[in-house]
Amino acid sequence: MVTAVFLFLLWIILNGRVTLEICLFGIVIAGAIYGFAVYALGYRLQNEMRLWKRLGMYAFYALALIVEIFKANFSVMRIILTPHPVYHPAIVKMRIPLKKQISRLLLANSITLTPGTVTVEEKDGLFTVLYLDHAPGDSLDDWYLVRILQKLEEPKWN
Protein backbone atom coordinates (compact mmCIF):
# COMPACT_ATOMS: atom_id res chain seq x y z
CA MET A 1 0.00 0.00 0.00
CA VAL A 2 2.92 2.33 0.66
CA THR A 3 3.95 1.81 -2.95
CA ALA A 4 0.52 2.94 -4.17
CA VAL A 5 0.82 6.13 -2.12
CA PHE A 6 4.34 6.66 -3.44
CA LEU A 7 3.10 6.20 -7.03
CA PHE A 8 0.31 8.71 -6.41
CA LEU A 9 2.75 11.27 -4.98
CA LEU A 10 5.06 10.72 -7.93
CA TRP A 11 2.11 11.37 -10.25
CA ILE A 12 1.36 14.65 -8.47
CA ILE A 13 5.00 15.75 -8.55
CA LEU A 14 5.40 14.96 -12.25
CA ASN A 15 2.22 16.85 -13.11
CA GLY A 16 3.42 19.96 -11.34
CA ARG A 17 0.01 21.10 -10.14
CA VAL A 18 -2.82 19.76 -8.02
CA THR A 19 -6.36 19.75 -9.36
CA LEU A 20 -9.29 17.44 -8.70
CA GLU A 21 -8.96 15.92 -12.16
CA ILE A 22 -5.22 15.21 -11.76
CA CYS A 23 -5.79 13.69 -8.30
CA LEU A 24 -8.58 11.41 -9.55
CA PHE A 25 -6.53 10.24 -12.52
CA GLY A 26 -3.54 9.76 -10.19
CA ILE A 27 -5.54 7.56 -7.83
CA VAL A 28 -6.81 5.42 -10.72
CA ILE A 29 -3.40 5.10 -12.38
CA ALA A 30 -1.51 4.43 -9.11
CA GLY A 31 -4.14 1.84 -8.16
CA ALA A 32 -3.90 0.17 -11.57
CA ILE A 33 -0.10 -0.03 -11.44
CA TYR A 34 -0.20 -1.36 -7.87
CA GLY A 35 -2.89 -3.89 -8.85
CA PHE A 36 -0.76 -5.03 -11.78
CA ALA A 37 2.25 -5.45 -9.48
CA VAL A 38 0.21 -7.55 -7.04
CA TYR A 39 -1.48 -9.66 -9.71
CA ALA A 40 1.20 -10.19 -12.35
CA LEU A 41 4.44 -9.77 -10.42
CA GLY A 42 3.45 -11.50 -7.17
CA TYR A 43 4.02 -8.36 -5.11
CA ARG A 44 2.85 -8.67 -1.48
CA LEU A 45 2.40 -6.19 1.35
CA GLN A 46 4.73 -8.25 3.60
CA ASN A 47 7.51 -7.89 1.02
CA GLU A 48 6.91 -4.15 0.89
CA MET A 49 7.12 -3.73 4.65
CA ARG A 50 10.31 -5.82 4.78
CA LEU A 51 11.77 -3.71 1.97
CA TRP A 52 11.07 -0.44 3.79
CA LYS A 53 12.56 -1.84 7.00
CA ARG A 54 15.69 -2.94 5.14
CA LEU A 55 15.99 0.38 3.30
CA GLY A 56 16.07 2.16 6.63
CA MET A 57 18.83 -0.13 7.84
CA TYR A 58 20.80 0.34 4.60
CA ALA A 59 20.46 4.12 5.00
CA PHE A 60 21.86 3.73 8.52
CA TYR A 61 24.70 1.64 7.05
CA ALA A 62 25.44 4.39 4.50
CA LEU A 63 25.55 6.99 7.25
CA ALA A 64 27.93 4.84 9.33
CA LEU A 65 30.11 4.33 6.24
CA ILE A 66 30.32 8.09 5.67
CA VAL A 67 31.43 8.57 9.28
CA GLU A 68 34.08 5.85 8.85
CA ILE A 69 35.31 7.48 5.63
CA PHE A 70 35.74 10.84 7.40
CA LYS A 71 37.59 9.23 10.30
CA ALA A 72 39.89 7.36 7.91
CA ASN A 73 40.51 10.55 5.91
CA PHE A 74 41.89 12.24 9.01
CA SER A 75 44.09 9.24 9.80
CA VAL A 76 45.54 9.22 6.29
CA MET A 77 46.02 13.01 6.35
CA ARG A 78 47.93 12.66 9.64
CA ILE A 79 50.26 10.11 8.01
CA ILE A 80 50.76 12.22 4.89
CA LEU A 81 51.30 15.57 6.63
CA THR A 82 53.66 14.31 9.35
CA PRO A 83 57.32 14.99 8.41
CA HIS A 84 58.53 11.54 9.54
CA PRO A 85 55.43 9.39 9.74
CA VAL A 86 55.36 6.12 11.60
CA TYR A 87 52.94 3.71 10.01
CA HIS A 88 52.76 -0.03 9.42
CA PRO A 89 51.52 -1.10 5.98
CA ALA A 90 50.29 -4.68 5.87
CA ILE A 91 48.34 -7.18 3.83
CA VAL A 92 46.04 -9.08 6.15
CA LYS A 93 43.81 -12.09 5.53
CA MET A 94 40.80 -12.52 7.77
CA ARG A 95 37.60 -14.51 7.72
CA ILE A 96 34.43 -12.43 8.02
CA PRO A 97 31.30 -14.37 9.04
CA LEU A 98 28.91 -12.94 6.44
CA LYS A 99 26.71 -15.54 4.76
CA LYS A 100 25.23 -13.62 1.83
CA GLN A 101 27.24 -12.68 -1.24
CA ILE A 102 25.61 -9.25 -1.40
CA SER A 103 26.75 -8.51 2.17
CA ARG A 104 30.31 -9.56 1.37
CA LEU A 105 30.25 -7.43 -1.79
CA LEU A 106 28.97 -4.42 0.12
CA LEU A 107 31.66 -4.88 2.78
CA ALA A 108 34.44 -5.29 0.19
CA ASN A 109 33.39 -2.07 -1.53
CA SER A 110 33.07 -0.28 1.81
CA ILE A 111 36.62 -1.30 2.74
CA THR A 112 37.94 0.00 -0.58
CA LEU A 113 35.97 3.27 -0.24
CA THR A 114 37.53 3.87 3.17
CA PRO A 115 40.86 5.72 2.71
CA GLY A 116 43.92 3.74 3.73
CA THR A 117 42.42 0.32 2.97
CA VAL A 118 41.87 -1.70 -0.18
CA THR A 119 40.14 -5.04 -0.58
CA VAL A 120 42.55 -7.11 -2.64
CA GLU A 121 40.44 -10.27 -2.75
CA GLU A 122 37.34 -11.83 -1.25
CA LYS A 123 36.72 -15.52 -1.61
CA ASP A 124 34.02 -17.32 0.39
CA GLY A 125 34.25 -14.94 3.31
CA LEU A 126 38.05 -14.78 3.39
CA PHE A 127 39.05 -11.15 2.85
CA THR A 128 42.54 -10.05 1.83
CA VAL A 129 42.91 -6.40 2.77
CA LEU A 130 45.79 -3.99 2.18
CA TYR A 131 46.18 -1.54 5.06
CA LEU A 132 48.19 1.66 4.90
CA ASP A 133 48.53 1.61 8.69
CA HIS A 134 47.60 -1.64 10.41
CA ALA A 135 47.68 -1.51 14.19
CA PRO A 136 48.05 -4.79 16.06
CA GLY A 137 44.66 -6.04 17.15
CA ASP A 138 42.77 -4.27 14.35
CA SER A 139 40.23 -6.65 12.92
CA LEU A 140 37.45 -6.25 10.41
CA ASP A 141 35.15 -8.77 12.09
CA ASP A 142 34.79 -6.32 15.00
CA TRP A 143 34.16 -3.35 12.68
CA TYR A 144 30.85 -1.58 13.23
CA LEU A 145 29.85 -1.95 9.57
CA VAL A 146 30.30 -5.73 9.73
CA ARG A 147 27.98 -5.89 12.74
CA ILE A 148 25.33 -3.92 10.81
CA LEU A 149 25.60 -6.31 7.86
CA GLN A 150 25.37 -9.31 10.19
CA LYS A 151 22.22 -7.83 11.67
CA LEU A 152 20.78 -7.42 8.16
CA GLU A 153 21.38 -11.14 7.54
CA GLU A 154 19.23 -12.15 10.52
CA PRO A 155 15.92 -13.87 9.66
CA LYS A 156 13.79 -10.95 10.92
CA TRP A 157 15.20 -8.74 8.13
CA ASN A 158 14.65 -11.27 5.33
Walking along the chain (158 residues) 10 residues at a time, the average pLDDT comes out as 85 91 94 87 76 85 95 93 90 90 93 93 91 79 86 78
What are the Cα distances from residue 146, in Å, to 84, 132, 150? Answer: 33, 20, 6
Q: Residue 53: its pLDDT value, please?
A: 80
How far from each other are the two terminal CA atoms of the chain, in whole angstroms?
19
Q: Residue 158: what pLDDT?
A: 63
Q: C-alpha dihedral over 143, 148, 151, 152, to 10 degrees?
A: -130
Cα–Cα dist 30/8, whole Å: 5
Asked if 133 contacts 89 with a C-beta cutoff of 8 angstroms, the reply is yes
How much is the pLDDT for 30? 93
Q: What integer pLDDT is reported at residue 97 of this predicted model?
A: 87
The CA-based dihedral angle spanning residues 27, 29, 34, 38, taken in that order and rounded to the nearest 10 degrees: 130
pTM of structure: 0.71
Say what the pLDDT of residue 4 is. 85
pLDDT at 124: 87
Which among 5, 137, 139 is positioned nearest to 129, based on CA atoms?
A: 139
Q: What is the pLDDT of residue 39?
A: 84
- pLDDT reported for residue 137: 67
To 5 degrees, how large is the angle CA 20–CA 24–CA 25? 120
